[in-house]
Structures are given as structure tokens and as C-alpha cells.
Structure 1
């Protein structure tokens, strides 16, 4: 439980850090998306940790976090037709572990330790962090040029 709280705090801190350079007229969409990311990342984790609720609220929230980070990363590129298709496929591959977690939770309702559940969420958090870091680097590189 403490690890999950720390991960949510880090996601919230990352989102708050991303809000700082996004306050320009050109990046109003970034501000909107990152505000949503920040609000979603400070959802009280202990409310979602109720075992009777299941995995779906976690998956929805983390899926939105991943999508927001991916969209911020996507918007830092100048796009062509092939890049758009490549980014769409990358998004589908990024969301696949989360989709598996939800499917696995609904099909296997036994009460036991589920390593796939933890690994699916961990991979989603790692991808979200990776997209945020890459977007920050690209954003500052574009600003410096």
C-alpha cells in the first residue's frame, strides 16, 4: 500500500512539474491535459484500495494518466501520416498491459496474490513516467532552439 501511495505521489509531482513550463498561449491544450493529469493523480488511493471495488477504477484512472502523458508526448512532434500511425500503434501497445489486468481480474475472481495484476500496473506507471520524461526533454529542447 505504501508503494502505491508513493507512486501516486510521484505521478502527481510529475504532473505538477509539467504544468510549470506549459503556461504559454501556444500550449493551452497542454495546460488543460496536464491539469486533468494532476487532478487524476491526487485521487485518494485509500478509497480505491477497497477490495470490494475491484480493479476497474484503478485501471480507468491509470489509463487516463497514461493517455494524458502519451498525448503530451505526441504533441511535441511535428506529425506526418506515418508518425501518426506509429504513435497510434504505440498507444495501443502501451495500453495492452492495463487491458490485460482488467480482463484477468474479471475472469479470475479467486482471492490470492496476483503477480500479473501488480506487474501490469507497474508497467503502466513506468510507461507513464517514461512518456512524461521524454515529453519534458523534447519540450525543453524545442524551447531552446
Structure 2
């Protein structure tokens, strides 16, 4: 049970880190609202199924929980790649503007 809580917290922390990087790299408040909604879409399934698994304590393999972990990990990886791309573009634009 403790391992489930640790994995859930680590997965959600990586997802949150990815979105924090995106928040800090964009200054548009309207886009930040969209990113909060996207974060909730990525975080909610894992949180719901982890809480459900802890409350009900299923005896068999909880396939939905495994799929929720995979979904969150893939979602986190995509968000992290997008955050890196945004940071590289922002840094490149700052370097170009300083040269001119």
C-alpha cells in the first residue's frame, strides 16, 4: 500500500513539475488557465483510481490503476517535452533579440 502512495505522489510530482516549467515560461494568463485545465485532465484519473484502490482494497489486479499510471506517465513525458521545447524557443528568441 505504501508503495502505491509513493508511486502516485512521484508520478503526480513529475506531472506538476512539467506544468510548472510551462507556467513559468509563458506569461499569458489566458494560456495559464488552459494549462491548469490540462493539468487537471492529466492528474485526475490517477488520483481517482489510486484513492479508489486504497478504499476498496481489491484482491485481484487492478488493470484500471495500471492504465491510469501509464496514462499519467505518458502525459507527463509529453508535457515535459513540450516544456523543454518552449524553453529552448524562448531562450533562442532572447538570444536573437540581444544580438540585434
Common fold by TM > 0.5: yes
Q: Indicate the residue corresponding to 1:62 in structure 2.
A: 11
Equivalent positions of 1:37-116 (< 5 A) are 52-80=1-29, 82-116=30-64
Q: Indicate the residue corresponding to 1:3 in structure 2.
A: none
Unaligned stretches of 5+ in structure 2?
94-100
> Could you say which structure has the greater relative contact order, defined with CA pairs below 8 angstroms and 6 or more residues apart?
2
- Would you say how many aligned residue pairs link Structure 1 and Structure 2? 93
Structure 1: distance between partners of 2:23 and 2:42: 13
Query: Normalising by the residue count of structure 2, what TM-score does the alignment of the two structures yield?
Result: 0.80
Q: Indicate the residue corresponding to 2:71 in structure 1.
A: 123
Structure 2: distance between partners of 1:84 and 1:69: 13
Runs of 4+ in 1 over 6 A off after TM superposition: none
Unaligned stretches of 5+ in structure 1?
1-51
Q: Give the helix-richer structure, 1 or 2.
A: 2
Residue 54 of structure 1 and its aligned partner are, at CA, apart by: 5.0
